[in-house]
Amino acid sequence: MLRITTLIIGIAACTPDPEPTWALDPITFTSDAEGIVGFQNWTFFAQPWSKRQASKHHICTVVVRFTGTPSQCPECEHAWEVDPTILETDCPDSLAEGPLPLSMMALGIGAATEAPDAPFPGQTSEGWVDYGYGWERHGWAYPDALDHGRPSSATQWDPAEPFTLWPTYVWPL
């Protein structure tokens, strides 16, 4: 005789998905035959994230791939006009197809700085982005290798090395 026993431990209360309140958009890029190619990762967080930046408040991410051709920026030593496309996302359509993910129109980096708040003084440059409203300072640009504990001799944009542009602010939504 076959006996089937079911044990119900509990039913969790379902809550609606939290609304995104913050967005962070680090950028990585490197050179290609035409200019640059890179990725911008729009990561969305719920309201409590602002207190401790805990990953448990992560809602979703939109990965944007872009290519860029040389351009001009008054504050930059190197600049590119970019063409973004959504590569992948786990966000609902309302976020993935919203105005932010495809808003970057241009990217630029300035001269190396010795600023004490730069992540790698002497190997960090100011990063600039144009989201359709003119150039604005976005954050710090530096050789990606430095984030991974590897040495880099680059003190400015080096087409042979991938670069990271880490934002110095988050987007309130």
Q: What is the pLDDT of residues 14-35, one digit of tens each?
A: 345 678 889 999 999 999 888 9
- pTM of structure: 0.85
Query: What's the pLDDT tens digit per position in 116-141?
Result: 899 999 999 999 999 999 999 999 99
**pLDDT tens digits for range 54-111:** 889 999 999 999 999 999 999 999 999 999 999 999 999 888 888 899 999 999 999 8
- Taking the mean position of all CA atoms in its chain, how far away is CA 45? 13
> Out of 9-13, 37-41, 87-91, which region has the weakest mean confidence (pLDDT)?
9-13
Between CA 122 and CA 167 the distance in angstroms is: 18
Give me the long-range contacts of 14-17 (CB less than 8 A, separation at least 24).
17/59, 17/92
Mean pLDDT, rounded, for 134-155: 92
Place of tokens 């087409």: 159
Q: What is the mean pLDDT of residues 11-15?
A: 36
Statement: residue 9 has pLDDT above 70: no
CB atoms within 10 A of CB 57: 19
Domain boundaries, the chain: 20-172
